[in-house]
Copies of this chain bind each other. A is one copy, B any other.
Amino acid sequence: MVSDAEEAAFEVGIKFGALYHQFAGTPVSPASAGSLETAIEESIENQPHCVGVTVDVLEDRLAAALADSPADYTELTGEFMEVEVVVDYEGVEAVARMAMRDGYPLMELVETEG
């Protein structure tokens, strides 16, 4: 038996894994960060039970990384974005976020509530 809160947690986990592994590696620069944010949000919001995706591609951090580089773009990784995903499964909402912790991007389930 699986509770609705567990289903909601499962669904928000799927969205996070999908988002990260679909878009990690995408060429990105400060100038193209905005269109990538919108596309990630709208694509993942297509998935079942997904009620909201907020992606912030960190243009300042991109610019800082590129300042030391011969290139003018890099590949999207967890250090360059902050993400929040909200799922609703049968009236139970689950919220998850990706944040940097100790230099590593960490996906965390913030709450389930229904």
Contact = CB atoms under 8 A, between A and B. Distances in A.
Interface of A: 1-3, 5-22, 24-29, 31-32, 35-36, 38-40, 42-47, 69-73, 75, 77, 94, 96, 102, 104, 107, 109-112
Contacts of A73: 46-47
Number of copies: 4
Given A42-B31, A42-B36, A22 B26 contact: yes
Contacts of A24: 24-25, 75
B17 A70 contact: no
A71 to B, nearest CB: 7
Given A14-B16, A75-B77, A43 B22 contact: no
A111 B3 CA distance: 9
A40 to B, nearest CB: 8
Name which of A38, A42, A72 has the most chain B CB atoms within 10 A of its CB: A42
A13 B3 CA distance: 15
A-B CB proximity, top 4 nearest: A13-B13, A17-B17, A39-B39, A17-B18
